[in-house]
Amino acid sequence: MQKDVKQILKEFWGHDDFRGSQRNIIDTILNSKDVLALMPTGGGKSVCYQVPAMAMEGICIVVSPLVALIQDQVNQLKLKGIKAIALTGGIPHTELHDLLDNCLYGNYKFLYLSPERLQQSIVQERIRQMNVNLVAIDEVHCISQWGNDFRPAYLECAVLRDIVPNVPLMALTATATPKVVKDILHNLNMERATIFKDSFSRSNISFQVRHTEDKLYQLNKYVSLTDGSSIVYVRSRKMTLSLSEFLKKNGIKTTFFHGGISKKEKQERLQLWLEGKVQSIVATNAFGMGVDKPDVRLVIHYQIPDSLESYFQEAGRAGRDGLPSRAIMITHKEDEEQAKRQFLGSLPNVDFVKLLYVKLNNYFQISYGESIAEPLPLKFNVFCQRYGFNANMTYQGLRILDQNSVISLSENFSERTSLKFTASKSTIFEYLEKHRQTAPIIQTILRTYGGITEYDTKLNLHLLSRKTGIGEVNLKKILQQLDADGIATYKNATSDLEINFLVPREDDRTINTFAYKIKDFHQVKHQNMSAILSYIDNSTRCRSAYILDYFGEKASKICGTCDICRPTELQSLEVLKRGILELLEKKPLTSRILEQTLQAAQQQVVMALQELLEDELILLTNGNTYNIKK
């Protein structure tokens, strides 16, 4: 018997009612019809398949492209007391059997998996035996080569139609142009699906492009004049640090974030920003996924992103609470060339991908015909330097290998600490006698890791720290000392990328199977770049309408708040400055009085005063009044 979906929504999610198309989508699925759901980021897609799956007997299969997304969703469900399992990369064969058995006999409600997992025959066989109530394919734009994140393995999702033929299918995405929608329907054989499209319009966001000679000045101005949290997006890790330093120097509480910092640092910085202890976070696109902060008032793009899809997704993190917010692209005329160089100038060709693949295998000492099942840490810069590879091209090449399921790539900072005792038993014993303070720690290590006197052994510092009560930093110092004293060899390696090899090494043959797709990859990258550049260069159409049009939606009205609809913002600033000067000619005044007399918004007056101060046309007196500089 079906349970009441509204009650389920309240009981497990705590929401009183459905929003947007959620209810209609759920009803369509409960009537056993296929659905394609197009909803903007934050629109509430997961509820659309999770609630009906809870209402029906059986298990829901969810395909999702990113390990981090899968883990996040499974954790969220577990917190609600719902039984869910994740099948991602790096699971040994025996464990895989157990997990699949759990799905069959263990009353599980959700099985999340990556498209690569779906290609395994054991996984397909077991799904065939399960009582599947719904198949959900998340981020379904990955199935289209016109999408921003094409993953050929996604095409394999169609196999689910044969494995569980009478089960309704729900495909979901937040970025789908008309071309992509057509591809999705065709590739998943779901031409008869009901399509629901919630508006992508974000009417509370004022989209702006600010062309300027002095980007830093504008950055500082916008961030410091914003009352509330902001995100500044850049396209390189180095830039996150330099802009964050710049904002700090200007008195703004700021931190930075990118894929190469440790998990702990990421969590700490995110927390500081979420709690409002820092106002601004300067980040690469590694920041944002799963971050649900409602009151971001400003998102700045300081460098041009690779596509309008990425731009809209990142800019859309402003104003989730529906209150007025701004998404500003600050740009200089040289930026366009720089973006083209960065994203297009270094697109790898087939020969480079072949070379990269061979070197990658050599780097990890994988021989022909072999594969390694565990995730391998890669220090990206070291790798590029060793083989004299261009960093951009290498990164794009790794992405091509990832998209074509040769490897799976995740941006993850990790640290590998290992130790091997090299001294003889009697020497170690003497050492323990002499170093009474560290002896208990050394003994714990020896007891915890059986073979550590014979093999180089990976240490879990977190575990050791818990066992010994010594902080990780101090533990490392002790290990270093053991190395220096000739008792053990200690290695500590950090990495910022993690690679899983998904197929055995066959050098050129591995690459030849998809070589033709590398050309398509180039074409898509060029189209994406030209779409974002046209958005920036556009000087006649409402920015919101322009974006909606790109996503195949007709804007019912112009936004009235972007820089095209309101070219007046700049002009009015000039008018305001003149008005202020006229008033100050008569007598010194406070900003409050200026606001009231000129009937202007506080932010605008502050901005005008700041520019007049910088142009040295006025000065601020001790009594907090402004005066004409004579």
Residues that bind ligand ADP (CB under 6 A): 15, 18-19, 22, 39, 41-47, 292
Residue 237 CB, nearest distance to ligand ADP (Å)? 26
State how far the alpha carbon of 485 is from the alpha carbons of 416, 422, 432, 461, 532, in Å: 21, 11, 12, 21, 58
Nearer to ligand ADP, 10 or 462 (CB): 10
In this structure, what are the phi and psi dihedrals at residue 133, rounded to the nearest 5 degrees?
-100, -20
Count CA atoms within 13 Å of residue 224 on its CB side: 17
DSSP letters, 142-158, are GGSTTSTT--GGGGGGG
Residue 229 CB, nearest distance to ligand ADP (Å)? 17
Nearer to ligand ADP, 45 or 221 (CB): 45
- Partners of 543 in the β-ladder: none
Per the listing, tokens 């009981």 go with 11
State the first-to-last Cα distance of the chain, in angstroms, to the nearest integer: 83
Cα–Cα nearest to 229, from 177, 292, 273: 273
Residue 314 CB, nearest distance to ligand ADP (Å)? 13
Residue 18 CB, nearest distance to ligand ADP (Å)? 5
Nearer to ligand ADP, 41 or 187 (CB): 41
What residues have CB less than 8 Å from 313, skipping those under 6 apart? 41, 174, 175, 288
Residue 41 CB, nearest distance to ligand ADP (Å)? 5
List, in sequence order, the alpha helices (H) in 316-373: 335-343, 350-363
Nearer to ligand ADP, 41 or 410 (CB): 41
List, in sequence order, the alpha helices (H) in 538-598: 543-550, 568-586, 591-598
Find the residue with minimal CB distance to ligand ADP.
Answer: 44
Nearer to ligand ADP, 38 or 555 (CB): 38
Nearer to ligand ADP, 311 or 626 (CB): 311
Residue 517 CB, nearest distance to ligand ADP (Å)? 28
What residues have CB less than 8 Å from 396, skipping those under 6 apart? 346, 347, 348
Residue 345 CB, nearest distance to ligand ADP (Å)? 33
Nearer to ligand ADP, 296 or 542 (CB): 296
Tell me whether strands 84-87 and 59-63 are parallel, antiparallel or unpaired: unpaired
Nearer to ligand ADP, 200 or 490 (CB): 200
Count CA atoms within 13 Å of residue 627 on its CB side: 9
Nearer to ligand ADP, 76 or 262 (CB): 76
Residue 409 CB, nearest distance to ligand ADP (Å)? 22
CA-CA distance, 184 to 412, in Å (whole number)?
Answer: 30
Residue 531 CB, nearest distance to ligand ADP (Å)? 22
